[in-house]
Amino acid sequence: MEKVYESQKFEEEIYQLWEKSHYFTPEIDNKKKPFTIILPLPNANDPMHMGHALFTIEDIMVRYHRMLGEPTLWLPGADHAGIETQFVFERELAKQGKSRFDFDRETLYQRIWDFAEKNRHLNKFQMKKLGFSLDWSRYHYSLESEIVNQVLATFKKLFNDGFVYRGEKMVNYCTRCGTAFSDLEVDHVEKEDFLYFLDYGSIQIATTRPETIFVDVAIAVNPEDNRFKDLVGKKAVIPIINKEIPIIADEAVEIDFGTGALKITPGHDMTDFEIGQRHGLSAISCITFDGKMINCPEEISGLYPKQAREKTLELLQKQGKLIKTQPLKHTVGICYRCKNIIEPLLSPQWFVKIAPLAKPVIEAAKKGQTKFFPTRFKKLFLDWMENIHDWNISRQIVWGPRIPAWYCLDCNPEIKINFLDKNGNLVSGLYRELKDRHSFEEIKKGLQSLTAPVKATFKIEEEINCPHCQSSHLLQETDTFDTWFLSGQWPLTTLGYNVENPEKSSEDFKYFYPTSVMDTLWDILFFWVGRMMIFGLYLTKEVPFKLVHLHSRVVDKKGQKMSKSKGNVIDPLVMSEKYGADALRMSLIYGIAPANDIVVSEEKIIAMRNFANKIWNIGRFILGQMEENGIANFEDLPAYQDDLPGLQTEDKQIIKDFIETIAKVTQGIEKYHFGLASEAIYEFLWHRFADQYIEHTKERLKQKDQVALIVLRHVYLKSLMLLHPFMPFITEAIWQRFPRKEKTALIVSPWPKVK
């Protein structure tokens, strides 16, 4: 063996050995219970980062269960990642001086597809570089036709079962990305702002958004607030436009905030919308989907909200209606992708009635059908599920499967259409205004987006003719599915569940579902885990996984989250090229506590590279001793037995210590304390075995004491088995170096048992 372990000389060759030997591909054996993990699918828009390297945790579990002799499936895949991929692609377009509006829908989709394909295949290469023992024969992509067909079938089933509807509601809208987001996809940041006190004639109000006063429909006070009891039922006057609006009472108003009187703008505030619904108030918008002002005085119309605020304040001051301003620190919603301020806007969207679907999930979690580790996350999960809101599954983007609904234009002439005409010009207007100047074929070919009335006639199957008027002028919904609608079905679609005919589901589904463990970052417990639970129980009546293991984020040595803007990103591929994949993997596991931040630094990776060299040198030493004793084959040296004659006290003690280490490592993996498991094998190999036992046996080995050599080889090779799930490349490389008549692979060797 070489003096130093050079990882790059071995890693690719060893991975090819594993893959070509089909060690990652389990066979269905109905006599055995399988172990299954579905990989949290990486996005097909960006190379892997250090967070993805934490798939090491899953690889540890998978390699361990494979060594236990269980049919073990770790199923890989990639996510088209809807808005995130389109956002990244649009950023690339911007560098070229272009935008999404320069392309028709079909061309833009194809360009994003080509862009995503490059990174998707790069991710496969990167995961192999890190040693992940995934069954590549079962790899899936979220835009595969069979996957999409099942997703569409789920939507149709939800619709037919009364769980899907299209409604005009207040949504979180990013005017820069041009799409709505769910509550979960809105980041909240603290902002220094102002509270503006305004004179509404009979009453004074305080607001953070003076630019929206033009579409106020009421002033609300708390019914318990004695200051305003005589004003309820009377009128207030909106300044600048001098419009009268009623003063109403509602318990949602906070008595202690501002003046205690709240302006009600149902078109631009979630709370106001709910108050408006209770009191039968209309909802009027003053901000468009491209972020410009409408339904306001002429000098403000067309401005962006920030500009409109300044102009509104100027007009209020001129009229003496701005009483005072007061500094305010409050939380605002921003787009989790582009960081633009989120606008609550009224928009027709597709929703899933989620509360009834959440009930079986709550029951399953409470009964322990799906367990959570660490257990503290169970309460967080239940709190969210018990207070869940209807799920907006519409996204106004091109990238992703379109919602399978078709609108009849002749039944709905008020549908607003945006399309590129035959000259490439963007045309926008109501269908009744456009149909005489543009053919249906031209509109259909260049269709960019459409806004349908809430009560539009539609079908969820594509048909040549409208079932009501027999017209053939049908256009498909342009909204695409929220990415989580697809990935929420991932354990089902990737294993071959058949939504329309469950009996025809694949053998893989029947054998490997429910899966064993879902390991993921805690921050998508609600985004992804909750939705997989919802779909799993809705479609199959079974939970999709028996345990949810939540790991934490990777941070730098100062405890800061890694980000490109901070300049503290550590590239996992660079580190693995430099120090070896095993060193990187071990640095992510060693010394960590469950769901605590994982500190990674180059110094820690170097320390684990040194550990790899220590392991290598132990093997080099033992092989050298075997050669000196003339042992050419593994079988030429007798196997260790507990009753081996000539065992000395130190031999018996190292065996005892090793048995205790087996128990610690096994228990650590079984109980999801991977940090403790890695520390146990590290401490044993480096300090107890190398620093103490080997030093004690060197004199005996000089005397050709075969018993010492038998014990050395036995403990070392069994230790490699324990270490293999954590550091697979070096352990396999050493294993292959030990001479034996029949070559075997460590990856499929049996896990050491405690006697």
Both structure tokens of 562 = 């890694």
pLDDT of residue 630: 82
Give yes or no for a contact between 381 and 543, defined as CB atoms under 8 angstroms apart.
Answer: no
Both structure tokens of 438 = 């543009």
Both structure tokens of 666 = 């096994």
pLDDT-derived band at 131 (thresholds 50, 70, 90) equals: very high
Average pLDDT over residues 531-546: 98
**In terms of pLDDT, which residue wins out, 693 or 525?**
693
Which residue in this structure is represented by tokens 């089933």?
Answer: 157
DSSP 687: I
Average pLDDT over residues 655-677: 97
pLDDT-derived band at 564 (thresholds 50, 70, 90) equals: low
Average pLDDT over residues 216-238: 96
Angle (CA) 414 416 418, round 5°: 155
pLDDT of residue 25: 98
**In terms of pLDDT, which residue wins out, 569 or 208?**
208
pLDDT-derived band at 177 (thresholds 50, 70, 90) equals: confident
Which CATH fold would you assign to the domain 179-344?
Isoleucyl-tRNA Synthetase; domain 2 (3.90.740)
Q: Point out which residues pair with 75 in neighbouring strands.
A: 38
The Cα–Cα gap between 183 and 658 comes to: 52
Angle (CA) 4 725 506, round 5°: 135
pLDDT of residue 456: 61
Summarised one tens digit per residue, pLDDT across range 705-729 is 999 999 999 999 999 999 999 999 9
- Choose among 709, 703, 708: nearest CA to 631: 709
- Phi first, then psi: what are they for 548, rounded to 5°? -105, 115
Are 31-144+484-581 and 157-172+346-481 in the same CATH fold?
yes
DSSP assignment of 605-651 equals HHHHHHHHHHHHHHHHHHHHHHHHTT--SGGGSPPP-TT-TT--HHH
Is 327's pLDDT higher than 60? Answer: yes
Is the C-alpha dihedral spanning 619, 625, 627, 633 positive or negative? negative
**In terms of pLDDT, which residue wins out, 351 or 3?**
351
pLDDT of residue 755: 65
Average pLDDT over residues 140-167: 95
pLDDT of residue 596: 81
The domain spans of the chain are: 31-144+484-581, 157-172+346-481, 179-344, 601-748
Is 566's pLDDT higher than 70? Answer: no
pLDDT-derived band at 301 (thresholds 50, 70, 90) equals: very high
Print burial letters for 359-381: b (CB count within 10 Å at least 16), e (below 16). ebbeebbeeebbebbbeebbeeb
Average pLDDT over residues 362-366: 98
For 31-144+484-581, the fitting CATH number among 1.10.150.120, 3.30.565.10, 3.40.720.10, 3.40.50.620 is: 3.40.50.620
pLDDT of residue 554: 79
DSSP assignment of 689-701 equals IIIIIIHHHHHHH
Question: What count of residues does the chain have?
Answer: 755
Average pLDDT over residues 681-701: 95
- Whether the full predicted model's pTM is greater than 0.85, yes or no, is yes
pLDDT above 90 covers a percentage of the chain that reads: 73
Average pLDDT over residues 321-332: 94
**In terms of pLDDT, which residue wins out, 541 or 453?**
541
- E strands present in 308-461: 322-335, 343-352, 371-373, 391-392, 394-395, 406-408, 416-420, 426-430, 447-451, 458-459
Is the C-alpha dihedral spanning 722, 728, 734, 739 positive or negative? positive
Is 148's pLDDT higher than 60? Answer: yes
The Cα–Cα gap between 150 and 140 comes to: 13
Can you tell me whether residue 22 is helix, strand or coil?
coil
Average pLDDT over residues 281-308: 93
Domain 157-172+346-481 superfamily per CATH:
HUPs (3.40.50.620)
Under the phi-then-psi rule, with left for phi > 0, alpha for psi from -120 to 50, and beta for the rest, what region is 404? beta
- Phi first, then psi: what are they for 232, rounded to 5°? -60, 130
pLDDT of residue 187: 87
Average pLDDT over residues 511-535: 93
pLDDT-derived band at 557 (thresholds 50, 70, 90) equals: confident
pLDDT of residue 629: 84
The Cα–Cα gap between 605 and 581 comes to: 10
The Cα–Cα gap between 235 and 216 comes to: 13
pLDDT-derived band at 455 (thresholds 50, 70, 90) equals: low
Which CATH fold would you assign to the domain 601-748?
Isoleucyl-tRNA Synthetase; Domain 1 (1.10.730)
The Cα–Cα gap between 224 and 221 comes to: 8
Angle (CA) 428 430 433, round 5°: 100
pLDDT of residue 542: 98
Summarised one tens digit per residue, pLDDT across range 727-742 is 999 999 999 998 777 7
Average pLDDT over residues 226-246: 96
Summarised one tens digit per residue, pLDDT across range 427-445 is 889 999 999 999 999 999 9
pLDDT of residue 178: 83
Average pLDDT over residues 307-316: 96
For residue 459, the Cα-to-chain-centroid distance in whole angstroms is 32
Which residue in this structure is represented by tokens 């983007």?
Answer: 397
Question: By mean pLDDT, which of 134-143, 271-280, 390-399, 627-636 is the weakest?
Answer: 627-636
Q: Torsion angle of alpha carbons 223, 224, 227, 233, nearest 10°?
A: 20
Summarised one tens digit per residue, pLDDT across range 243-262 is 999 999 999 999 999 999 99
Q: Point out which residues pair with 225 in neighbouring strands.
A: none
Is 130's pLDDT higher than 60? Answer: yes
Rounded to a whole number, what is the distance in angstroms from the first to the last CA of the chain? 33
Question: By mean pLDDT, which of 46-60, 282-296, 675-689 is the weakest?
Answer: 46-60
Is 454's pLDDT higher than 80? Answer: no
Is 519's pLDDT higher than 90? Answer: yes
The Cα–Cα gap between 25 and 2 comes to: 33
- Phi first, then psi: what are they for 449, rounded to 5°? -160, 160
